[in-house]
């Protein structure tokens, strides 16, 4: 790692800044296969904590994990028309295995609806078998032409839930439970990323979905990131793969489906939501090290300072704080400060002989840079409080930033598309619901409808910002990752 | 699930018994891709618990997780001669992606030494960067001609550790730490599978390894299962991928490597170590349900019995016992008893109005079938004790079974190979160390050397069972999965 050279400026060169932060903070790097990344231990530790948070909520809402194979016969995938149209351009195909050409190519899973629904037919015989509430943690491959670490990679890690229900209402409720209780709760309370909750327009839906629910977050370059999606699939997959069961009234019925996913892309979202010109700023709840203790060592008092650092670390660990003592002899304190700032550790404690003599330590919070002296005896308790405060402050700062960059004042089509075309932020405005207007905004500004908010404002929607016809809904536009 | 028909006899038709238990207990089933399995929720829950146990130990011994890509350029894999010779026949190749033929085929990872060592060159510059102690959880694909659920599947889930060290002694110590403190401890104390700890003969080593350490367990059909392996790789991979660093003396040096893996195959090992003619017998520490409560319901006293069942379940949960109340109205108690026996739940509690009136419940342990009446007030505590007892008893029973089926009496070559050729168990006997004798035993009996025990008996090894020359070691032979 090289912490010596300054990072590119976030505001002036966002893409370069992003790439350098990801690499220098040792989150991930490119691999010999174009578009596929190596997730390094520091980045993977963040993903593991996020995984645990998601998995706990997935199980708490009644789901079980299982595992379906990576390779899927191309013919199984091809049966679902919308799905194959949506994914065919991105699929990787295994054509040889075991030293021979295969009779039928195998697709490396781009998503698992097809394989899973071709199997559910055997599992769903009676209404008593419903609902099926299953999830899997897996890798998927989608060939990306313009890959970016975490955000668009040829292979990524995710969870994909696939459920089956007796009624449409139950399936819709499931999709919304996942959106709110699993995804929004994790993204907001753990990743400290404020999100808009909404549904996608027809043109932006998942292939084969009747409704796609989404979480949209604003990044610090003014672009939106789709943080997670949850799809109500209706009976389409059940019909395609002929999944029928005997209903309560004794007649055959098709179950209703949902699917939903969140991926390693969220790690990129954390970088782009909270990072600044000094590097990462990690929300404490997913920081691999929540506190780093940097002992300020001089030859004379070395042992005493190291002992005090170890004692403080023990006190923090006893309070369930993830703490690291950086006692590497080959680096000076200033180098370490820069490095841990780059890596986004929420709280740094500096501890030297002079401090010890005075009975204090210096505590620095990463989010604001604020420094304070705290009595040694209170240091562990104070660090815990500070972590809660950093977690809340990062969320509030990101929410304020989003509000600041959201235009709602309906100042006219030209102004709005100009705002969108320079990726200045979000535009929330009335829409007539017609795809012609959606297409026109996109062509004039590169912005898409990110979502139709489901916590929709009670105010009447007024006139479509594009065509002036009566609006049927509010839409949120932005350029997006 | 069909619990009505009897299972095939374990002793008479072991392979059929195994397949039926895996399917009927809903651990896994075949997928449309030959040799790849769907791991169903009940089987996956076992794997998840095993994963957690392994992961905790991997981290406790100082390792961090990371993630390398699934797809590897065929040329990177091809650079390591031994590895490519070992794996080429099993590799699956992606030749098309994103709608185009690829310039270079990509191998779906059969293992990750090649890709990882082609990357470590960038990560290891100085002795200060060592050791690298990394692990990943991943899926791998190896084309199997004779697949069997969990034991040999085209795709399986595993963890693979890949470490780099300054000295050979450190690397060997690492491989042994993993063998003992991670693998043997998990397999014996969690899965209740007694294992022999040993090294492989040259002919049975991992391709590219200088030493392969292994855990070998005896299954109930008399065959051995390799439960996990840990490899000391020397400097071979470092030389192939030109990984050099500046050593303490300022000169260039190649690091020493290890790699080690354990997989979903262990779930099959649990089935074959503990199962009986009634189905699975799960060790409590990995049982998704440790206790099942079956209320015996008649119309009159339904509510009271259900209430008592719920109260007992709460008391068990408060004691951190994983408990399930089976109150399905559509099945009779006898059906439920069979089903939970098939699924291997360690302890069953039966609870009816008559029991409640008498202030007792009936507790049945799955391993021995033993029934006892226990006062309701003591039921939760008693179940906890019983779980510990079942865990210990399963281990002891398996160890006794292995000892009973291990021949050590050196009764002559013909007798020993006859014993091995009917897969009656293990033969522990002196060996001269020559591959000719290893090959002759294999050709005469289909048995291979499973390991050279590293807790080797102090007794002098005597004469090779095959050629009569002075032995250099004790070897353990068996037919194997």
Q: What is the pLDDT of residues A314-366, one digit of tens each?
A: 999 999 999 999 999 999 999 999 999 999 999 999 999 999 999 999 999 99
Residue A201 sits at φ, ψ, to 5 deg, of: -70, 165
Interface test with A, best of B1, B26, B70, B102 (most A CBs within 10 A): B70
What is the overall mean pLDDT for chain B? 94
Same domain, A255 and A316: no
What is the overall mean pLDDT for chain A? 94
B448 Cα to chain A: minimum distance (Å):
24
Q: Do A70 and B128 touch (CB under 8 A)?
A: no
Of B38, B93, B98, the CB nearest to A143: B98
B157 Cα to chain A: minimum distance (Å):
10
Same domain, A270 and A303: no
A73 Cα to chain B: minimum distance (Å):
7
Final residue belonging to a domain, choices B249, B274, B299: B274
Question: Alpha-carbon distance A451 to A431, whole Å?
Answer: 11
Instruction: Give the model's pLDDT for residue A313.
Output: 96
The residue segments making up the domain with residue A69 are 14-274
- What b/e string do you get for A79-91 counting C-beta neighbours within 10 Å, with b at 16 or more? bbeebbebbbebb
A124 to chain B: closest CA residue: B1
> Is B54 inside a domain boundary?
yes
Q: Which residues of A touch B330 (CB under 8 A)?
A: 128
Q: Do A143 and B68 touch (CB under 8 A)?
A: no
Instruction: Give the model's pLDDT for residue B2.
Output: 47
Find the CATH number of the domain harbouring A444: 3.30.110.30
Of B89, B96, B155, the CB nearest to A98: B89
> Is A93 inside a domain boundary?
yes
DSSP for A83-114 reads HHHHHGGG-EEEEEETTEEEEEEEEEPS-SHH
Average confidence (pLDDT) over A237-266: 97
Same domain, A71 and A212: yes
Task: State yes or no: pLDDT of B115 exceeds 70.
Answer: yes
> Is B13 inside a domain boundary?
no
Q: Are the CB atoms for B468 and B430 separated by under 8 Å?
A: no
Q: Which residues of A touch B44 (CB under 8 A)?
A: 64-67
Task: State yes or no: pLDDT of A456 exceeds 70.
Answer: no
Q: Are the CB atoms for B141 and B111 separated by under 8 Å?
A: no
> Is A393 inside a domain boundary?
no
Q: Is the peptide bond before A118 cis (omega within 30 degrees of 0)?
A: no
Of A38, A73, A139, the CB nearest to B32: A73
Question: Alpha-carbon distance A256 to A279, whole Å?
Answer: 45
> Is A356 inside a domain boundary?
yes
Q: Which residues of B touch A90 (CB under 8 A)?
A: 98
Task: State yes or no: pLDDT of B373 exceeds 80.
Answer: yes
Q: Do B44 and A38 touch (CB under 8 A)?
A: no
**Tokens matching residue B286:** 């990995």
Instruction: Give the model's pLDDT for residue A301.
Output: 86
B90 to chain A: closest CA residue: A98
Q: Closest Cα partner for B43 from B346, B209, B364, B287? A: B287
Q: Do A36 and B71 touch (CB under 8 A)?
A: yes
Confidence band, pLDDT 50/70/90 cuts, at residue B298? confident
Q: Is the peptide bond before B208 cis (omega within 30 degrees of 0)?
A: no
Same domain, A241 and A189: yes
Q: Which residues of B touch A29 (CB under 8 A)?
A: 122
Same domain, A114 and A204: yes
Question: Alpha-carbon distance A363 to A312, whole Å?
Answer: 12
Same domain, A240 and A318: no
Q: Is the dihedral of CA A399, A405, A410, A416 positive or negative?
A: negative
Same domain, A228 and A317: no
> Measured between alpha carbons, how far is residue B276 from residues A245, A337, B100 in Å?
34, 61, 52
Chain A / chain B CB contacts < 8 angstroms: 159
Q: What torsion do the CA atoms of A206, A156, A162, B289 make, to the nearest 10 degrees?
A: -170
Same domain, B355 and B445: no
Confidence band, pLDDT 50/70/90 cuts, at residue A4? low
> Is A284 inside a domain boundary?
no
Question: Alpha-carbon distance B38 to A76, whole Å?
Answer: 15
Same domain, B143 and B203: yes
Q: Do B66 and A157 touch (CB under 8 A)?
A: no
Q: In this predicted model, what pLDDT tens digit does every residue of A390-437 receive, in sequence order?
A: 999 999 999 999 999 999 976 799 999 999 999 999 999 999 999 999
Same domain, A230 and A368: no
Q: Do B92 and A73 touch (CB under 8 A)?
A: no
Same domain, B200 and B78: yes
Q: Which residues of A touch B93 (CB under 8 A)?
A: 94-97
Q: Which residues of B touch A147 (CB under 8 A)?
A: none
> Is A345 inside a domain boundary?
yes
Of A122, A139, A143, the CB nearest to B70: A139
Cα end-to-end distance, chain B, whole Å: 27
Q: Do A76 and B32 touch (CB under 8 A)?
A: yes
Beginning with the edge strand found earlier in the chain, give each strand of the sheet holding A360-365 in spatial order.
A323-325, A291-296, A347-352, A360-365, A371-375
Q: Which residues of A touch B105 (CB under 8 A)?
A: 96
Q: Which residues of A touch B128 (CB under 8 A)?
A: 330
Of A66, A115, A139, the CB nearest to B39: A66
Which residues is A217 bridged to in the sheet? A225
Q: In this predicted model, what pLDDT tens digit does every residue of B362-371 receive, in sequence order?
A: 999 999 999 9
Instruction: Give the model's pLDDT for residue A457.
Output: 62
> Measured between alpha carbons, how far is residue B359 from residues B373, B422, B453 in Å?
10, 53, 53
Eight-state DSSP code of residue A142: -
Region for residue A98 given its phi and psi (left: phi exceeds 0; alpha: psi -120 to 50; beta: otherwise): left
Q: Do A141 and B70 touch (CB under 8 A)?
A: yes
What is the gyration radius of the CA atoms in chain A, in angstroms? Answer: 25
A288 to chain B: closest CA residue: B64
Final residue belonging to a domain, choices A209, A242, A274: A274
Q: Which residues of A touch B68 (CB under 8 A)?
A: 31, 38
SS3 A231: strand
Find the CATH number of the domain harbouring B94: 3.30.930.10
- Which residue shows structure tokens 């520490």? B285
Q: Which residues of A touch B46 (CB under 8 A)?
A: none
Indicate the number of domains in chain A: 3
Same domain, A61 and A150: yes
Residues 6+ positions from A215 with CB-CB distance below 8 Å: A179, A183, A184, A187, A195, A196, A197, A226, A227, A228, A229
Q: Closest Cα partner for B411 from B401, B420, B403, B402? A: B420
Q: Are the CB atoms for B163 and B174 separated by under 8 Å?
A: yes
Interface test with B, best of A63, A92, A133 (most B CBs within 10 A): A92
Q: In this predicted model, what pLDDT tens digit does every residue of B313-354 receive, in sequence order?
A: 999 999 999 999 999 999 999 999 999 999 999 999 999 999
> Is B279 inside a domain boundary?
no
A69 Cα to chain B: minimum distance (Å):
6
Q: Are the CB atoms for B139 and B155 separated by under 8 Å?
A: yes
Final residue belonging to a domain, choices B245, B274, B303: B274
Q: Do B65 and A48 touch (CB under 8 A)?
A: yes
Task: State yes or no: pLDDT of B458 exceeds 70.
Answer: no
């Amino acid at each position: 790692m090289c912490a010596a050279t300054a990072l590119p400026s976030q505001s002036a060169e966002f893409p370069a800044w992003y790439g350098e932060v990801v690499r220098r903070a040792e989150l991930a790097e490119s691999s010999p296969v174009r578009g596929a990344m190596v997730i390094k231990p520091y980045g993977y530790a963040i993903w593991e904590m996020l995984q645990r948070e998601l998995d706990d909520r997935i199980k708490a809402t009644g789901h079980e994990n299982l595992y379906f194979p990576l390779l899927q016969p191309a013919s199984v995938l091809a049966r679902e028309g919308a799905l194959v149209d949506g994914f065919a351009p991105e699929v990787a195909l295994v054509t040889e295995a075991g030293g021979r050409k295969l009779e039928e190519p195998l697709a490396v899973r781009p998503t698992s609806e097809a394989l899973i629904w071709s199997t559910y037919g055997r599992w769903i015989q009676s209404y008593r078998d419903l609902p099926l509430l299953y999830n899997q943690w897996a890798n998927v491959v989608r060939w990306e032409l313009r890959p970016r670490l975490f955000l668009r990679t040829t292979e990524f890690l995710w969870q994909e839930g696939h459920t089956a229900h007796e009624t449409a209402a139950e399936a819709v409720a499931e999709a919304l439970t996942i959106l709110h209780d699993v995804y929004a709760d994790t993204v907001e309370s753990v990743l400290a990323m404020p999100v808009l909750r909404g549904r996608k327009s027809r043109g932006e839906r998942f292939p084969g979905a009747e409704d796609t629910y989404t979480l949209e977050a604003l990044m610090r370059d003014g672009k939106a990131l789709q943080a997670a999606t949850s799809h109500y699939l209706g009976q389409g997959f059940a019909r395609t793969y002929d999944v029928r069961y005997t209903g309560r009234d004794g007649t055959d019925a098709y179950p209703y489906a949902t699917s939903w996913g969140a991926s390693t892309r969220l790690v990129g979202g954390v970088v782009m939501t909270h990072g600044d010109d000094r590097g990462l700023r990690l929300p404490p709840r997913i920081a691999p090290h929540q506190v780093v203790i940097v002992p300020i060592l001089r030859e004379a008092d070395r042992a005493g300072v190291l002992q005090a650092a170890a004692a403080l670390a023990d006190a923090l660990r006893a309070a369930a704080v993830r703490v690291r003592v950086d006692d590497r002899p080959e680096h000076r304190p200033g180098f370490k400060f820069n490095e841990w700032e780059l890596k986004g550790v929420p709280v740094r404690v500096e501890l030297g002989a002079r401090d010890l003599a005075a009975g204090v330590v210096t505590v620095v919070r990463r989010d604001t840079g604020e420094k304070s002296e705290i009595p040694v005896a209170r240091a562990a308790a104070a660090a815990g409080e500070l972590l809660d405060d950093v977690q809340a402050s990062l969320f509030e700062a990101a929410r304020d930033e989003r509000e600041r960059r959201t235009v709602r004042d309906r100042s006219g089509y030209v102004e709005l598309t100009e705002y969108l075309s320079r990726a200045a932020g979000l535009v929330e405005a009335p829409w007539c619901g017609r795809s012609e207007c959606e297409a026109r905004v996109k062509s004039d500004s590169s912005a898409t409808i990110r979502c139709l908010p489901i916590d929709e404002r009670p105010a009447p929607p007024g006139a479509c910002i594009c065509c002036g016809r009566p609006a049927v809904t509010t839409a949120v536009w932005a350029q997006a990752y």
